[in-house]
Amino acid sequence: MNDQTNVKLRLSNSELWGGVIGLALGGFVIWSGLKLKLGTINDPGSGYVLFYTGILMCVFAGSIIVSAITEGGPTLASRWENVRWSKPLLLIACLVAFSVALEPLGFLLSSIPLMLLLLRLIDPVRWTLAIPVAVLVPMGMWWVLKRLLLIQLPSGLFGIG
């Protein structure tokens, strides 16, 4: 391991960041626990378990940070080396766009474009295959759920579906 991929007390140490996030979450959980009241040991309150879980989280996060500093860890960049990091990012963007569109547009109008995007953007499938798959599969599922299982999918502002 050279300096590029294994660093100790540097901001690019990915282990350090994991620990710090854990510590912050732990702190938040302790605070929430205190706010919800601990109660007594005879009658523990709503925050009792949260408080102690938060303390444990801080302990574990602390030990992750300590080992990150003493033993070092891979850099953030090295975790994404030699992979097509842009593809998961694209996929995440598609999913976020889909979740924004789902309620206003309804299931059919949002999932057909989502399928088309996924089929074409990541590892492009030829159009003659992508279009039938993107249209027929969501419609088929929609029909099965609505007609056979009586499950109504979101229909959106236009009431389609």
Partner 1 sequence: MSRYRLKTIAFAAMHAVMGVLLPTAASAQDYPTKPITLIVPWPAGGSTDISMRAIADSASKVLGQPIVIDNKAGGGGTVGPATMAAAAKPDGYTISQIPITVFRLPLMQEVSWDPAKDFTYIVHLTGYTFGVTTNSESQFKSWKDVVEFAKANPGKVTYATPGAGTSLHIGMEQIAGMAGIKLTQVPFKGGAETNAAVLGQHTMLQADSTGWRPLVDAGKLRLLMVWTGTRSPNYPDVPTLKELGYPMVYDSPFGIAGPKGLDPKIVAKLHDAFKKALDDPAVIATLAKFDMVPNYKNTEDYKKFVVEVTESERKVIDSLGLAKK
Partner 2 sequence: MDTLVNVAHGFGVALLPINLLYCFIGVFIGTLVGVLPGIGPISAMSLLLPVTLSGTPESGIIMMAGIYYGSMYGGSTTSILVNIPGEAASVVTCIDGHQMAKQGRAGPALGISAFGSFIAGTFALIALMLVAPKLASVAIAFGPAEYFSLMVLGLVVLTFLTQGSMPKALLMACIGVVLGLIGLDSITAQPRLTFGRMELIDGIGLVPVVMGLFGVAEVLLNTEQAIKRDIINTKITHLLPSKEDLKASAGPVGRGTILGFFLGILPGGGAVVASFASYALEKRLSKTPERFGHGAIEGVAGPESANNAAAGGAFIPLMTLGIPPNVVMALLLGAFVIHGLQPGPLLITQNPGLFWGIVASMYIGNVMLLVLNLPMIGMWVQLLKLPYNILFPLIILFTILGVYCSSNNVFDVYVMIAFGIIGYFMRKLGYEPAPLVLAFVLGPMMENNLRKSLILSQGDLWTFVQRPISAVCLAFAMVLLIAPLLPALRKKRELVALDEGA
Binding residues for partner 1, rule: CB under 8 A, are 103, 106, 150, 152-159
C-beta closer to partner 1: residue 59 or 157: 157
C-beta closer to partner 2: residue 69 or 122: 122
Of the residues 22, 75, 105, 109, which one makes contact with partner 2 according to CB under 8 A: 22
What is the length of the chain? 161
Of the residues 38, 69, 101, 125, which one makes contact with partner 2 according to CB under 8 A: 125
Find which of partner 1, partner 2, none residue 106 binds, CB within 5 to 8 Å per kind. partner 1
Q: How far is the CB of 25 from partner 1 (least distance, A)?
A: 19
Residues 47-106 contacting partner 2, CB under 8 A: 47-50, 53-54, 56-57, 60-61, 63-64, 67, 79-80, 83-85, 87-88, 91-92, 95-96, 98-99, 102-103
